[in-house]
Amino acid sequence: MAIIERPVGDALAFQDAPVTATSSYGYFRRPVETTGWRSWAFTVDHKKIGIMYGAVAMVFFIVGGIEASLIRLQLAQPDGTILSADKYNQMFTMHATTMVFLFVMPMAAAFANYFIPLQIGARDVAFPRLNALSLWLFVAGGLFLNTSWILGGGADGGWFMYAPNSDVPFSPSNGVDFWALGLQITGIASLVGAINLITTVLNMRAPGMSLMRMPVFTWMAMVTQFLLLFAMPVITVALFLLMFQRSYDATFFSVAEGADPLLWQHLFWIFGHPEVYIIVLPAFGIVSEVLPVFSKKPLFGYPFVVFSGAAIGFVGWGVWAHHMFASGLGPVSVAVFSVATMAIAVPTGVKIVNWTLTMWGGKLRFTTAMLFAMGLIVEFTIGGLSGVTHAVAPSDTQQTDTYYIVAHFHYVIFGGGVLGLFAGFYYWWPKIFGRALNENWGKWNFWMMIVGMNLAFGPMHIIGLQGQPRRMYVWTENRAGEGFFNLGFWNLVSTIGTFILAVGVLLFLINVWVSRKNPPAPLDPWDARTLEWLTASPPKDHNFDRIPTVHSIDEVFHRKYEDVGENGEHDYVQRATLEDLLAEEERLGEKHIHLPAPSYWPLVLAFALPIMAYGVIYTTWLILAGAAIAVAAMFGWALEPADAEPSDFDPPVDGDETSKELANV
């Protein structure tokens, strides 16, 4: 029977005296609660952190969705009056910022946090407290950014925040300051997370889990973390320059002084283009897990999928300037970037082919997760095709800044990124919560979202070709085209589509709500293939009773099935169920497992940063106060032993039996 030495609250119940840990390292007592909000706020368990990451990201998805709906309501009719020009600017800026930085990225981080350790057979991430810090920085940054709504209005410079347009003379409200500082904070969250997760993947794999045996989701998540590692510092620089410009009168973007108006664009897009892959690669990883399971076949061409993912990561760096074709770079640059951009379609195409061949001849099961995965293939391909028309610089200069672009990137990031995340929700829900989401609600959820997104974003192609500019708060009747190109008709369709999409998301939330009461899901609801299933659902605190030794890709599948085929033909017969495997793991499980103890400091440190950020905007002494708290938190952190001393906590988690057993250890 496995024993956990996480200092849990129950320990108190078993010992007459309060935990003696206080004495052994003087400073502050480490938190010990296992229930209630404290058990979440101070946790360093990657699973709880993953769940919180996801829950907060979901809240921001709703916020971003409300912002999108307001935009579309405004544009449903000519000369809309729901939003003023000013509020409209804030709305689309905050919509895009929220969706990109506060929903898609953190939701991918939620999956990465939760599943990377499970998929590589580790007990936790490499640095559990840093992991908690990364979560709370994201929460702190997101909240800080959104307080701008009540403190003078949101940012209004577009999510790309082109300077000098975002400098004080053109954007005088505090919104842009909130934006720059808020993203700085969430940026640190991403950086810290990237370092932690890459270290985890490279260093903490179970015996036998070579890189080429790793599940594809872990692979794609790692490539994503590398992109973050190298992309975040570039936007960090940009954000610092903008902050110094606005708050301390630096001159980086003062064109009157001779500043280069393209500096911001370069810095932004060197970050911004890899950002696109940061958004879609985790979704690609999820789909690469889901398709084989519901096709009952191994992933076709595993190495190709892995290497094309890595290739996307590399090539993604060389093409940023395709966002700047219309900015006067000069013909040579434009030609080079145009060709490089088309080159990136190749590894992406490889993936699509591999997914299709995975399904080819497979025993398909059309579960909700599978539907979302297939939806991704279709919708992402549509987005990819309109993308090719942007790579061609001449046609791009016609389309850019029209709704055609808006259509394109929503097919890519919604059709690619978001549908993939939803596939992940349905696929992994029973693992995370021990209860599956309802499949009926799920199918409605899926179809409403698919119909909604095509009605919302499809017409934007037409609206764009007719010339309706992006980021304009009204359009007028006299510019509406005739017949098929009638702006009024398609704008209305797009708005209706948005609300159908919103209902689809609402169905998901209802599904989550009703599934609380579902009976416990079977241990192996989908006949899974990868390591994260080799533990209870939801997983125990210590992840695995015994760290598994890995022999192949799809380890769990090969433990369950024996290949009795001859002459290279495969014929799998079941020799064990997951229940059998788990019983065996529990029997052979380890007696003595250390887990890192919870900590207050990540939370304290994270929330010191918004205090400093308010200081930059309002008064200097707040900067000092925040910095003092941050320094104190860092020292508390450094002086706190990384691990609780086992002798201080003898936590009998599994009952009296084990508590006695441990007492003798």
Partner 1 sequence: MSDVVKETVKDAIEIVKDHDKDVHEHDVHAGDHNGGHDGEHGAHHTSMGLSNTKLAMWLFLGSECLLFGGLISTYMLYRNRQGTGPGPDQLWDIPFTSASSFVLLMSSLTMVLAVSAANRKDDRNTKLWLTVTATLGGLFVAGQIYEFTTFYREGLGYTESLFGSSFYTLTGFHGVHVSIGIVMLLATMGMLATGKISGDKAETIEMVGLYWHFVDVVWIIIFTLVYLIPA
Applying CB under 5 A, does 273 fall inside the site for Cu ion? yes
Q: Which of 46, 47, 48, 72 binds ligand HEM (CB under 6 A)?
A: 72
Query: What is the rounded CA–CA span in Å between residue 246 and residue 656?
Result: 62
Binding partner of residue 273 among ligand HEM, partner 1, Cu ion, none, CB cut-off 5 to 8 Å per kind: Cu ion
Applying CB under 8 A, does 259 fall inside the site for partner 1? yes
Provide the mask over 90-129, with x wherever binding to ligand HEM is found by CB under 6 A and - wherever it is not: --x--xx--xx---x-------------------------
Radius of gyration of the chain (CA): 26
Hey, which residues between 176 and 195 contact partner 1 (CB under 8 A)? 191, 194-195
The three-class DSSP label of residue 574 is: strand
For 248, the token pair is: 């301390």
Q: Which of 111, 136, 159, 433 binds ligand HEM (CB under 6 A)?
A: 159
**What's the min distance (Å) between Cβ of 586 and Cu ion?**
49
Query: What is the rounded CA–CA span in Å between residue 394 and residue 470?
Result: 19
**What's the min distance (Å) between Cβ of 28 and partner 1?**
16
Q: What sign has the CA pseudo-torsion 484, 489, 491, 493?
A: negative
**What's the min distance (Å) between Cβ of 71 and ligand HEM?**
5
Q: Are 152 and 175 in contact (CB under 8 A)?
A: yes
Applying CB under 8 A, does 378 fall inside the site for partner 1? no
Phi, psi for 581 (deg, rounded to 5): -60, -45
Would you say 87 or 594 has its CB closer to ligand HEM?
A: 87
Q: Which of 173, 254, 381, 577 binds partner 1 (CB under 8 A)?
A: 254
Applying CB under 8 A, does 324 fall inside the site for partner 1? no
Neighbours of 1 (CB within 10 A): 15
Applying CB under 8 A, does 162 fall inside the site for partner 1? no
Applying CB under 8 A, does 234 fall inside the site for partner 1? yes
For 521, the token pair is: 């899901």
For 488, the token pair is: 């009024």
Applying CB under 8 A, does 4 fall inside the site for partner 1? no
Would you say 194 or 391 has its CB closer to partner 1?
A: 194
Binding partner of residue 159 among Cu ion, ligand HEM, partner 1, none, CB cut-off 5 to 8 Å per kind: ligand HEM
Neighbours of 647 (CB within 10 A): 11
Neighbours of 567 (CB within 10 A): 4
HEC-encoded secondary structure of 505-524 = HHHHHHHHHHHCCCCCCCCC
Q: Where are the alpha helices (DSSP H) in 249-344?
A: 263-295, 302-315, 331-343
Query: What is the rounded CA–CA span in Å between residue 197 and residue 57?
Result: 19
How far is C-alpha 518 from the chain's CA centre? Answer: 27
For 546, the token pair is: 């015994």
Question: Could you list the residues that contact ligand HEM (CB under 6 A)?
Answer: 65, 68, 71-72, 92, 95-96, 99-100, 104, 158-159, 406, 410, 413-414, 417-418, 456, 470-471, 498, 501
Question: Could you list the residues that contact Cu ion (CB under 5 A)?
Answer: 273
Question: Could you list the residues that contact partner 1 (CB under 8 A)?
Answer: 44, 121-129, 191, 194-196, 198-200, 202-207, 209, 229-234, 236-238, 240-241, 244, 248-252, 254, 257-260, 263, 267, 547, 590, 592-596, 635, 638-639, 642-643
